[in-house]
Amino acid sequence: MATYLITGANRGIGYEYCRQLQARNDIVIAVCRTASEELKQLGIQVEEGIDITSDASVADLQTRLGNRAIDALINNAGIVKRVTLENLDFDSIREQFEVNALGALRVTHALLPNLKAGSKKAGSKIVLMTSRMGSIADNTSGSSYGYRMSKVALSMAGKSLAHDLKPHGIAVAILHPGLVQTRMTNFTSGGITTEESVKGLLARIDELTLGNTGTFWHANGEVLPW
């Protein structure tokens, strides 16, 4: 039984992480801005009012946790906004960097003492929910400036974290969930369910070790190109 902390836990993939982890008897700390009814129904610990773009908010989360050990941090919260070359909205690009790249790094940095406490037992883990859209090698269709650029930045942070935290016994996974039916994708009919995606994501997290830290995986187990 391990303690997992998940951001963006009120809906989509984040909620499903909470549901599946609770079902297998892990301890879950669900972090969100506003709890959804379905999250409240799970009866797990919910830390509401946390915006990952705010230093004060994330510091508040750390204060609430105190010296509690965390075995796995899943940086799941993210946004996508359409930015094309014809409509290059720099404020939108900046906002996507704030949430997708800096937000995840801010939460990770603030919770390092908790993760280091977790690693004393069996080694702790950090997950960054990136996207295949943040693969430079896989970019065959262009556009999506804010989302693609912010996810590349997130993946790069993940690689540096993997190097920096290996000596502390903390492993890092950089994960793509597949194309998933959530609000982010307008519940696209071409996507997989959150149930299927998170089943694969948890298998990757379970397999994560200091030996394979810093790898970019698809939820289905495929290693993705940078």
Ligand X SMILES: NC(=O)c1ccc[n+]([C@@H]2O[C@H](COP(=O)([O-])OP(=O)(O)OC[C@H]3O[C@@H](n4cnc5c(N)ncnc54)[C@H](OP(=O)(O)O)[C@@H]3O)[C@@H](O)[C@H]2O)c1
The Cα-based distances of 160 to 78, 101, 133, 171 in angstroms read 20, 13, 20, 11
- Count CB neighbours of 8 within 10 A: 26
34 near ligand X, judged by CB under 6 A? yes
Q: 112-122 and 55-65 helices cross at what angle (nearest 10)? A: 40
10 near ligand X, judged by CB under 6 A? yes
Closer to ligand X by CB, 67 or 186: give it: 186
154, containing H or E segment = helix 145-165
Number of residues that bind ligand X (CB under 6 A): 30
- Span 188-217, contacts to ligand X by CB under 6 A: 191
218 near ligand X, judged by CB under 6 A? no
177 near ligand X, judged by CB under 6 A? yes
Closer to ligand X by CB, 32 or 210: give it: 32
| Beta sheet of 3-7, edge-to-edge order | 45-47, 27-31, 3-7, 72-75, 124-129, 170-176, 215-218
**Got the DSSP string for 11-68?**
SHHHHHHHHHHHHTT-EEEEE-SS--HHHHHHTSEEE-S--TT-HHHHHHHHHHHTT-
- The CB-of-15 to ligand X minimum distance in angstroms stands at 8
Closer to ligand X by CB, 77 or 157: give it: 77
Closer to ligand X by CB, 12 or 214: give it: 12
SS3 171: strand
Distance from the Cα of residue 51 to its chain's centroid: 14
- The CB-of-167 to ligand X minimum distance in angstroms stands at 28
**60 phi and psi angles, rounded to 5 deg:** -60, -40
| Binding residue for ligand X, selected from 6, 21, 52, 83, defined by CB under 6 A | 52
The site string for ligand X over 69-88 (x = CB under 6 A, - otherwise) reads -------xxxx---------
| Binding residue for ligand X, selected from 2, 3, 4, 14, defined by CB under 6 A | 14
| Binding residue for ligand X, selected from 131, 135, 213, 215, defined by CB under 6 A | 131
- DSSP letter at 157 equals H
Closer to ligand X by CB, 180 or 210: give it: 180
Task: Point out which residues bind ligand X (CB under 6 A).
Answer: 7-8, 10-14, 32-34, 51-53, 76-79, 99, 103, 129, 131, 176-177, 179-180, 182-185, 191
